[in-house]
Structure 1
Amino acid sequence: MGKMRGAIVVNTDRCKGCSLCVEACPKTVIALAKKVNVHGYPYVEAVSPDDCIGCASCAIVCPDGCITVYKKRMED
């Protein structure tokens, strides 16, 4: 049985920087970027993507549906 690994994709153009996903992430994978999107909002990004477990907590709490979570089984 392989270990599960996750990956997130953030739609930075739609993100308003509310940081709900940052608080919801149990592995501290997501953080607010120092950059802004086309609408002038700071957005979130994966700062430690290798730690993502694919739990989808970030996507569940995102009010604008900006985060897509992918899961992949890693072979031992």
Structure 2
Amino acid sequence: MPPKGRIEVNEDLCKGCELCVMNCPQEVIALNMERMTKRGYHPAELAKPGCTGCGICATMCPEAAITVYREVIQKPA
């Protein structure tokens, strides 16, 4: 079973550059074309399930707008 993750995008920082979208190996990030931020950009978001929490999106983001959370899988004792 692949690890599970999620992202949070700080919309005050996101400029909709799509670097996270283009570099997501799971192809689960997209710009929300139905919304705009206060600064007039379409924000990135987790568009579908499948995030593994790899962190590539956060590494690629020039604005450091993405925080990645990865589920900790507990092994049975």
State if a TM-score over 0.5 links the two structures: yes
CA contact (8 A) 1:3 1:74 kept: no
- What is the aligned-residue RMSD (CA, Å)? 1.8
What is the CA–CA distance in structure 2 between the aligned matches of 1:63 and 1:53, rounded to whole Å?
A: 21
2:72 is paired with a residue of what secondary structure? Answer: strand
Gaps of 5+ in 2: none
Which residue in the other structure is 1:55 paired with? Answer: 54
Secondary structure in structure 2 of the residue aligned to 1:68: strand
TM-score, length of structure 1 as denominator length? 0.87
> Could you tell me how far 1:73 is from its partner in structure 2?
2.9
Indicate the percent of aligned positions where both proteins have the same amino acid.
43
Please list the CA deviations of residues 8-67 of structure 1 after superposition, one character each: whole Å capped at 9, or x if unmatched.
00001210000000011011110011111001111111101x200010000000000000
Cα shift at 1:3: 4.7
For 2:40, the equivalent position in structure 1 comes to: 40
Give the count of matched residue pairs: 74
Task: State the distance in 2 between where 1:17 and 1:74 align.
Answer: 32
Q: Which has the higher helix share?
A: 1
Aligned counterparts of 2:2 and 2:14: Cα–Cα separation in 1:
30
Structure 1: which 5+ residue stretches go unaligned? none
- Structure with bigger gyration radius: 2
Measure, in 2, the Cα distance between the counterparts of 1:41 and 1:3.
32
Q: CA deviation at 1:75?
A: 6.0
**Higher-strand-fraction structure:** 1
TM-score in terms of structure 2 length: 0.86
Runs of 4+ in 1 over 2 A off after TM superposition: 73-76
